[in-house]
Amino acid sequence: SFSLSTVSQTSTVDADVSVDQQLPRAHTCFFSINLPRYSCDNVMAERLKYAMYNCIEMDADFRLADTE
């Protein structure tokens, strides 16, 4: 099943970037997505759409390409 979780505000990942500017992080092998605590639903929707349409790699794809 699919899992949805939020990212801790104290996380060091993207700590220097505003929460509303952070993108969600997906883990396709675990069917899960981590969402920052966005300020509102509209920001969350914008960030999810941006991530879906602009994703350039999935999981370890970039590492696999280096070994081929």
Please pick, among 1, 16, 28, 29, the residue that the annotation labels catalytic. 29
* Cα–Cα nearest to 26, from 43, 46, 7, 45: 7
Give catalytic status of residue 55 as yes or no. no
**Could you give the CA distance from residue 23 to residue 47 in angstroms, rounded to a whole number?**
6
33: which 2 tokens? 């997505």
**Could you give the CA distance from residue 23 to residue 5 in angstroms, rounded to a whole number?**
13
Catalytic residue positions? 29
